[in-house]
Amino acid sequence: MNPPKTLLISFVRTFWHNFWLTMMQQLAPSDDQGKYQRSASQFRGTIEGNAESGRYHLYVGMSCPWAHRALIVRAIKGLQEFIPLTILVPNASTGGWVFQPVQHDCSTLAQFYRLNQPNYRAKATVPLLWDSWQKQIVNNESSEIIKLLNGHFPGDLDLYPASLEKEIEQWNAKIYPAINNGVYLCGFARTQAAYQDACQQIFQTLDEIELVLSGQRYLCGESLTLADIRLFTTLFRFDAVYYSLFKCSIKRIADYPNLSRYLSDIYNLPDVAATCNLEQVKKDYYGQLFPLNPSGIVPL
């Protein structure tokens, strides 16, 4: 005798929800309120004085917004020949970044991390700044790497001028929790309350920035700064990924005239477009984040 359809549906819903919670805990651990908890970066080294050409190597993934920050700074400061680059790709079966081809006798970024710290058990993340002379990881915190690239490598462009440091940091303190990390708090939320709180914070902050940009070109006036680059990489992915996959769906960036102009303005700066690969972004987010998109279908 077949079980009643309502019992079967109830069983499947309960099974799938519990299985989803287990997968999500592996992908994105949360607190007891269902709020995503991002782990802190473990390598926080610095560079003394001016960097030597070819000494430091940058490891990135094209779909990662945190790595994209470093890619943009490297590009607009003209450091392409000064800082070698390795692009890694995500692997759904291992849940991490992999080398193609193998480098340093490592096939995965996790193995590369453990070369530097054998007991390392945290996530192996990009971007990663590597000292190829000392054979050691310098830093894996994107907000610090872009300051290192700006301050210790050649180039006349200063994206973190002393006169704007306070204002830049005020924007960073607002944008990181509400937008940069906020989209992940929204997409990885386990409860309705956690989701709604994150979603509302995102759009309250976007509304505030939209108003500011009605009277000036960039966040700190007429000069591009690191604060703009930190915001740009999230805005670039917003309509194609975060709006739908992460349920950040109150508005699109396209619905904000000033933010749309701002996004286009930065995208069209010299060498920035070359760091942007929206098809790869969609492929990796929709194809790799199985708990959020079990079908693996990538939208057109």
pLDDT tens column, 191-227: 999 999 999 999 999 999 999 999 999 999 999 999 9
pLDDT tens column, 285-299: 999 999 999 999 999
Give domain limits for the chain.
Answer: 162-270
Radius of gyration of the CA atoms of the chain, in A = 20
pLDDT tens column, 19-66: 677 777 778 888 989 899 999 999 999 999 999 999 999 999 999 999
pLDDT tens column, 169-182: 999 999 999 999 99
Look up the pTM and report it: 0.94
Check if the beta carbon of residue 48 is closer than 8 Å to that of residue 148: no
Note the pLDDT of residue 53. 97
Note the pLDDT of residue 28. 83
Please give the span between the terminal C-alpha atoms of the chain, in angstroms, as a whole number: 43
Residue 1 pLDDT exceeds 70: no
Q: What is the dotted CATH code of the domain comprising 162-270?
A: 1.20.1050.10
Helices (H), the chain: 5-27, 65-76, 109-116, 142-151, 165-175, 182-187, 192-212, 226-237, 257-267, 278-288
Which residues are identified as catalytic? 64, 184
Percent of the chain with pLDDT over 70: 99
